[in-house]
Chains A and B, each alone.
Chain A
């Protein structure tokens, strides 16, 4: 079963605005990763945040992790039309499995 659940499922914003996506999960994790996927393409790794970290930045991306709430957020600042894609979180549970577990993703559309 999917562990990560992203919300919203879809988001439409104007170029230059910020986009925030949220991910919730169910069990303890070692780390959480965010990915971008353009239509019909593979997944592009954006950022990894470890369970002992609370916030990470990479360029226009800011990721937060709240392990007490079992949730993470991805903020894209000053969005561009090229940011239009689906965004997924993937969690690495601490035990019981080696796999990364993905949610159903947030479809972001940035309007020029």
Chain B
């Protein structure tokens, strides 16, 4: 499968715990995006990488959120001290021109 891969698909965590999600983009894509989506809403932009450089971050990305893309390949999104409001689907996309999304990681904070 040469699509965008996200792991894990589901994550249940207790409030206050840290979580990390991984995204493996399509190999030749230099652009990588993270989005968050809550029920009934469209995806909201979190951050953008071009190769290994993080070029744009949303104000939604509080200091509890950090994303990396070492060596311009896979990317990780970490949420520290999770809160119930962090419960959402976290989507990763990669692109050259068209943006292709992974299946997402559904986070539930209890």
Contacts and interface: CB of A to CB of B under 8 A. Distances in A.
Q: DSSP majority for the B interface?
A: strand
A42 B101 contact: yes
B16 interface: no
Contact of B99 (A41, A90, A104, A105): A90
Nearest to B42: A102
Interface string B79-93: 000000000010101
Contact of A40 (B43, B93, B106): B106
A40 B9 CA distance: 11
Interface residues of A, number: 23
Given A98-B50, A99-B56, A43 B98 contact: no
Contact of B42 (A41, A48, A97, A105): A105
Contacts of A104: 40-42
Interface residues of B, number: 27
Contacts of A103: 42
A105 B43 CA distance: 10
B103 interface: yes
Contact of A100 (B33, B55, B89): B33
A45 interface: yes
Interface of A: 2, 4, 31, 33, 35, 40-45, 48, 88, 90, 97-105
Q: Which 9 pairs show the lowest CB-CB distances between chains A and B?
A: A102-B42, A42-B103, A99-B45, A43-B101, A98-B48, A42-B101, A42-B104, A102-B43, A48-B98
